[in-house]
Structure 1
Amino acid sequence: MTATIPRVPVFDGHNDTLLKRVITKGTDRETDFFERSTLGHIDLPRAQEGGLVGGLFAMFVPSNIRQDFSKPYNPSDTKNYDEIDQSQALDFTLKMAAEAFRLERSSNGRVRICHNVREIRECIDQGIFAISLHIEGAEAIDTDFNALEVLYNAGLRSLGPVWSRKNVFADGAPMRFPSSPDTGPGLTDTGKALVKACNELGILIDLSHLTEKGFWDVAATSNKPLVASHSNAHAICPNARNLTDRQLDAIRETNGLVGLNFHTAFLREDGGYSRQTPLETMVKHVSHLIDRLGEDGVALGSDFDGCMTPTDIPDAAALPALIESFRQAGFGEELIAKIAFKNWLSVLDCTQN
């Protein structure tokens, strides 16, 4: 009789589900989070089917919030990288935070916004979907950090100073292939002050999307583990969004973490936008990350609802296929558990106060 392998819980380091929900509200693409859909990547039934127990839910403000989101995203359109006004960004961020609060309130106890790792662990134990709020690109934060204080008290526990565009805090790395991540300036003085303010509050600083100079500025400024929530190995896919071995070594020195991004253009050696990307390519990145970071420094940062995923992982329900690919590559069950959820909980515990 063959023993049944238990479903591995997955705590994911990055998704754009809140943005997806806000921009589709009132359209024919609006979905019920509590009903299974074929649109997008995450809803509660598909999360439960795939073992996704929660994750960092990003609040990202597009440069053109009035664009037609029903059309495919064009990474070459320069309008997608225009700087954005702080008050406009804050207003849009509040819409996404409010969407998270509404999901929690209407869930009948099935969804919870978590403020610390203890609450996340309780959710995993009790079968409750755990949401931890994250900001991707800090345009919503004013230079006096008043919004930061308010959003922290609302549940914000992770923040990326930039997306792939410039703001008052730093420059963002473009989605350029082939390219070094050394594409422009790093943190401004205000950006360094933001890092220190986040350290003081216990908000994780996310290095994904920063230029290489920005990465090293955070490394010199922060007193917390270095974390890139959704980035891959530059040695395999030389996209400006990925991390060099030197950067990975610096992350390891701080007991930090990198979450594997599922976006095909950040996975493929040719940098191509093709869903015909085998799971073996994802395993190759994870193996390289383990070699540079150690078993405690690698996790998942899917970018669900914000990226083009491989055909074999069309949505959250298919996460067991990736887990099985790790087994086929010879990863032991304890290592798989670390990659799937344990490492995220450990690093969040180290960064939160």
Structure 2
Amino acid sequence: MNDAIQPDALRPDASRLDAISIHRAIVTLDTHIDIPWPTGPDPFHDGTRRVDLPKMIRGGLSAACFVAYVPQMTRTPATEDAAYGRALAMLDQISRMQYTASAIRVRTASTADAIEAAKRDGVLAIVPCVENGFAVGADLSRIAQFRARGAIYMTLTHNGHNALADSCNPRRDLGDRASEHGGLSTLGRAAVAALNRAGMLVDVAHTSRDTMVQAAEASRSPIVSTHSCVSALCDHSRNMTDWQLDVIRDVKGVVQITAVSAFLKANAKPDEVTVADFADHIDHAVKRIGIDHVGISSDFDGGGGFSDWHDAGENPNITIELARRGYDRGALEKLWAGNFLRVMRVAERLAA
């Protein structure tokens, strides 16, 4: 464990009430949340989704990365064009959340400074993102269009290989072999460069291990995994091995530990997984690669959620458990947003 963190001793400022106070005071950023598509509940009302704006307020969530997710399909120009159209439409829907008439104050934030400014102003920050480079097809100019609509990162793959890279979960039903490109394709390497030029982060969640390593080598800015856990505690294809965590650290990136029960505890139902299991993955990653390279995400409405972190309204439960283990305010600031904002700033600076 990092010397600054003492899991065996609860610090005086880390009681339950103090933990909640810290949670409300710091910037809290959930880096991966899905949205309903094409239609769904009104985000301004406390409804059936795990994340809506009232739940963000109740759970003290300052900022949320909402993703324009496109599922992998058989690759043809027509399906890639359709995926691109869907991604643009979803990004537009995410941005429209700030214009809906409501007593809730909300704005789109596409830079680290804007996320922090929203917190200071008492405004919820909506952060657009793209999941699955399938939407790029063979046209890398689409990446600049994603950024123009506010997207701060793009996940290179989802389940199934695409034209950019190999996924950690090949789709046999789509004819995928175990490996198609051996990691990044030539087009994928160019896509990483295009993401760098646009100031967008390269997200390696869902990629194969070869893709992840090659993306780390190719990217001028630190890579991120916006929603993964650690293989040492749960052997799952979506999780990071210790040597992958080392790569994240070596390129000054961040792994965002996520709330998907299958990634946290093998063969466990969501109602048997707890914040303690989640915090165990945080602990392992921090011990392995340091507090500066670990963060928090939920993958809510995309598979995330368990017994005592069921929705965004229960976000303080994570802070309370981490504080109980000895994480002080500075560490909590880094885990909840600081580390991710740091890599965002690197990407923004390199693009500029």
- TM tier, smaller: 0.7 to 0.9
Give, as a single letter, the amino acid of the residue that structure 1 aligns with 2:184: L
1:83 CA drift (Å): 4.8
Find out whether 1:53 has 2:94 as its counterpart: no
Q: Match of 2:30? A: 12
Give, as a single letter, the amino acid of the residue that structure 1 aligns with 2:296: L
Give, as a single letter, the amino acid of the residue that structure 2 aligns with 1:251: I
Q: 1:154 to 1:280 in 2, by over 3 A?
A: same
Give, as a single letter, the amino acid of the residue that structure 2 aligns with 1:15: I
Give, as a single letter, the amino acid of the residue that structure 2 aligns with 1:113: T
**Pairing 1:1-353 to 2, within 5 Å after superposition:** 4-5=17-18, 6-8=21-23, 9-17=27-35, 20=36, 22-23=37-38, 25=39, 30-37=40-47, 39-63=48-72, 83=75, 85-107=79-101, 110-174=105-169, 184=179, 185-268=182-265, 270-352=266-348, 353=351
SS of 2:246's partner is: helix
1:271 CA drift (Å): 4.1
Residue 33 of structure 2 contacts residue 66 of structure 2 at CA under 8 Å; is this kept in 1? yes
Give, as a single letter, the amino acid of the residue that structure 2 aligns with 1:54: A
C-alpha distance in structure 2 between counterparts of 1:202 and 1:337, whole Å: 23
Q: 1:107 to 1:221 in 2, by over 3 A?
A: farther
Give, as a single letter, the amino acid of the residue that structure 2 aligns with 1:257: V
Tell me the C-alpha RMSD between the 2 structures.
Answer: 2.0
Per-residue displacement from partner, 1:295-351 (whole Å, max 9, x unpaired)? 111111210110141110110000111111111112222211211122121121112
Q: Structure 1 length as normaliser, TM-score?
A: 0.85
Q: Match of 1:76? A: none
Unaligned runs of 5+ in 1: 64-80, 177-182
Residue 86 of structure 1 contacts residue 142 of structure 1 at CA under 8 Å; is this kept in 2? yes
Aligned length: 319
Q: 1:107 to 1:11 in 2, by over 3 A?
A: farther
Q: Which 4+ stretches in 1 moved above 3 angstroms?
A: 81-84, 271-274
C-alpha distance in structure 1 between counterparts of 2:295 and 2:86, whole Å: 29
1:274 CA drift (Å): 3.2
C-alpha distance in structure 1 between counterparts of 2:120 and 2:149, whole Å: 24
Per-residue displacement from partner, 1:154-182 (whole Å, max 9, x unpaired)? 21220111012111101111299xxxxxx
Residue 186 of structure 1 contacts residue 211 of structure 1 at CA under 8 Å; is this kept in 2? yes
Residue 120 of structure 1 contacts residue 130 of structure 1 at CA under 8 Å; is this kept in 2? yes
Residue 192 of structure 1 contacts residue 221 of structure 1 at CA under 8 Å; is this kept in 2? yes
Q: Structure 2 length as normaliser, TM-score?
A: 0.86
SS of 1:40's partner is: coil
SS of 1:351's partner is: helix
The sequence identity of aligned pairs, in percent, is: 27
Unaligned runs of 5+ in 2: 1-14, 172-177
